[in-house]
Each structure stands twice: as C-alpha cells, then as structure tokens.
Structure 1
Amino acid sequence: MRPKPSSPFAIHWLSAIIVLAFAHYPQRAARGDAGVSASSSIEAAGQRLVAAYPNFLTAAASNVLVWKDATRMAIDDGLGAKPHTAWLAAPDLEDMFEMPYPAGAPALAPALNQDPGRARNAAFFDKMYGDCRAGDVTKSLVEIVWLPKKSGQRLQVTSINGVARKLEAISRILDQLPSRFDRYLAPAAGTYNCRTIAGTERTSAHGHGIAIDIAIKHAGYWRWSKPLAGGMYAYQNEIPREIIDVFEAHGFIWGGRWYHYDTMHFEYRPELFVR
C-alpha cells in the first residue's frame, strides 16, 4: 500500500487545484452510441493496439487480436458495458478505450468516475511484459539514471517496447527545466515494484516495469483524502503542466487525469495516444 507522506501536502500547495470533480472531461459513451456500431468499436480498439505495439502484434480482425507468436486474443468479452467497478476489475481489451484519454488538456478535475487509462487487461499486459509474480519481469529490467545532472538516482524499468529509452529521454528533457521544478521530480518515489494496487487485487503497472511515481511530497492521491458530503472527492494537484506535457509526448499517461487521481503516477500506455 502506498504510504501517506508525513506532512499534509494540502496545506502547502502553490498551484493546487481544489475543486469538486464535475464534468471537465467528457463522459464515456456507451458502446454503440453516436452511431458507432459495436463491431466498429471492437475493430478500432484492435487497430489501435496493433499500431501501438508493432513488436508484438500483427493484426486485428473482427473480434480477434493476433500476436506475432500466433496467439489469438478476444478484443471484446461479450459482456457489454460494465459498471465502473467491473470495468476496473476485469476489463476486456475494448474496455481500455472506453474513456478517451485527454492528452494535452488542462489539468482540471475529471468528472465522477472518469478514469481514462486506469483499466488494464491483465492477460494482455502479462503476456507482453511478463507476470511479476512469476518472476517474468525482472529479466527485462534495465537501470536508468533519473535526472543525471540534478539527481543521479538509479531506477529500474523494463526495456520492452523501448520503455527505458523513452524514460531516459523524458529524464533528459526534465533535467533541463528551471530549478523551480526540481521539487516535483526528485527524488522519484519509485518505478518497478511487484505489488498490487492499494485496495485491490490487481497488479500495479509498476509490476510490469512501465510506471514511475515522481516526488511524493507534492503528490495528490485520492485515497489520502476524505470524501466530501455526498461521497465525492475533491481534486488535488500540484504537478505543473510542463512536466505532464513531457511525459505525454512520450506515450505516458498521467494519473492526475483520473477522478480517482494519483498525480505522482505516470505509466507507458501508447495505445491511448493512437487516433
């Protein structure tokens, strides 16, 4: 479980946004809405995956995603639109695209349960990166130096899909930012960690070696906050747009774009940037 920082970060915000989480981002559409047929939605999901992961996938046809080793995987499980809890717990491949990821948008409070990119199909990512519980991930881990000029912290991430190279490129760019950004970036809170997501039985993206948490002292995390009247959570963010933009330009989604926000968290999800 992710520890809560010893000092209440909410007291010391410099640029925090504290607003109720209402509709700043569009709600997800039910499958088949807006004239989009279920079959075309399935096909689009498959094509986006093939485009994002060409080293592993060869084709998507009808409801089948074809891997280079000839494995065939269903894109849609046939269960239709799912309640939010089921969408998170057991998403099919199509479900991962149900909420458009708003790359480049202002860092505003998402609407209730808008968690674009938070759903991950476990079988898909375990096949691609390995199951950390079986020891599959460690053989692909490589060490990178985070912010070599300002920090020099050594971190482990996967080499699969060029994730390590991309994170090194991000690090070099962030290393050039003015010193006022340093407190958000160093020390990084962690990368590879074979663990479940707090409060769930789902393996974290950290368990695949595709995620990084940046400096924890300036992080906002929904589980650290108390719900307001009616059960809503107030959105809390300090992470500057300049940092978010660099990660997104390299295919990393940001946990601050979720209603269940985790603003220190970035993970490599290139399929969500394919249009």
Structure 2
Amino acid sequence: MKTKLILLTALLFVSGAVAAGDTKSGKAAGNVIEDDINLPFVDDKEVQGSWRSVDFVAEPGQFDPKKRSWDDELYLKELVFLPGGKTLNGWLTWTKGVVMHRGDKTASKYLIKKMAGAEYMFFEWKSGDYTIRHQKPEYYVLKKQGGIKRDKIDLPFNDDPQVVGTWESVDFVESPEKFTPAEKAWAGDLYLKEMTFKEGGKGGNTWWSWTKGVVMHSGDRTASAYTIKDIGGTQYMFFEWKSGDYTFRGMKPHYYVLKKK
C-alpha cells in the first residue's frame, strides 16, 4: 500500500459500536468543518483502558491482523480512556462510540471489534484532510492492551515508626535487587523528589496516606508497597512506582529508591 501524507491539524493528538448521538458537522468561517462536540455522556465499560495503534487503513474492512497496511511510522501511538468520559489528554473527551476534540471541534466515531482473539478499535482520524480539505476520514486501528487497574486502598492503619520522616529520592530501578549505592542506575532527573511520612498514617500530600508497608493514593486508587533495608549502615526505602504503565498498560511497577534525610 502506498504511503499517503496526512495533513495534521493545528492542534495535534499526542499520543471507536453505537454513538451516543449523531456527530453532525457544519462549516465555520473559512469553510473549516466543525462537528457537534456537545454530546451527552453515555458510559462504555468496554472502551476503558489502554489502546495501542497497530495500523492505519482507509476502511475498517481493509484491516488484516496478520498483515499491516501502513508502511510508515504511526503518528498516533495510543489512546487511554478513563472513567467518566475522560482521557489522559485534557483536550479529548469521550462518550459511547465517539471521541470529542475540543480544540479541533471534531467528533470522531470509534468501533470495537473482536478479531483473532483480541479487541481492536477502529478510530476515525479527523485530521486536516477532513476539517480543511473535506475528505472522508480514514481509520487508525488500535489494539487493547488492558483495562484500568485499581487496587484496594481502604486498608486499616498499622503503625511503622521507622518510616516517619522525610525520604529523598536517590535512584530509580527495575527491582530492589538491582540497586547499588555506589552506582546510580537512572541517568535522568528523578520525577519523584521526596516523600514525607507523617505520624498516624498521613502523607506529605492530601491525596496519599500510609499504613505499615503500603502507600495508598486516593486519586489513582493504587496501593504501593514499600520496604526499608539497611545497606552499608544506611537505611533505604524501595517504593513501588505505580504509574500509568501499571494502571493502564498492565506493566510491572519499577521502584524509586529513597534515603532518609
């Protein structure tokens, strides 16, 4: 299949089945198409989770799981659908069967099909070819990677006097066994700078609390284990980092290594 250049809109996506309403389109000033994006929210449990792009086709019927059609790199890498019509991108929202882009004012339909034992989404790609050139949108094909993982966070409080205080991040490792105090594994800046554990299970921020061996995040609804080890006379904490790789993509969490101040 010959590769085809896609004219991207000014506001790009970062990195679809019954519609909740008709995605009626109109023409605004300058003859640019704007869809109706004021659609009521209708839930869709099936769509929630992480979807990774695997192909780009003119029509859903052209997709073959065994043979990729698009020769070039896929611009759209993934879509993550959160509960309540939200996504990881602030400018994208969804209702059953439709994704709304508030910047481009497009309402793109999605269709989910089960093929060869996997779930695939066919997502209308309403780029500038649609809004400016008035061409029929083609489709990204995305494969479901996993649903949204939520941990049990209503855990009873058990005290742990040794954890109380402020801990400063010193490294980020795949597993505690791979930490070496004399040699830093993570080359870049550490996103998590420090953690403050207050008495009675309170955290340094209002959205997290702790009980012995576990930190609970009320927003992400994750329960991350921590362990404290003495290495060479210094206490280090190994803290599970349950980011989107864990909650959306089903990956095993890595660990922040922190040292008590």
Q: TM-score with structure 1 length normalisation?
A: 0.22
Structure with the larger strand share? 2
State which structure, 1 or 2, has the greater radius of gyration over its C-alpha atoms: 2
Q: TM-score with structure 2 length normalisation?
A: 0.23
Give the structure, 1 or 2, with the largest relative contact order (CA under 8 Å, sep 6 or more). 1
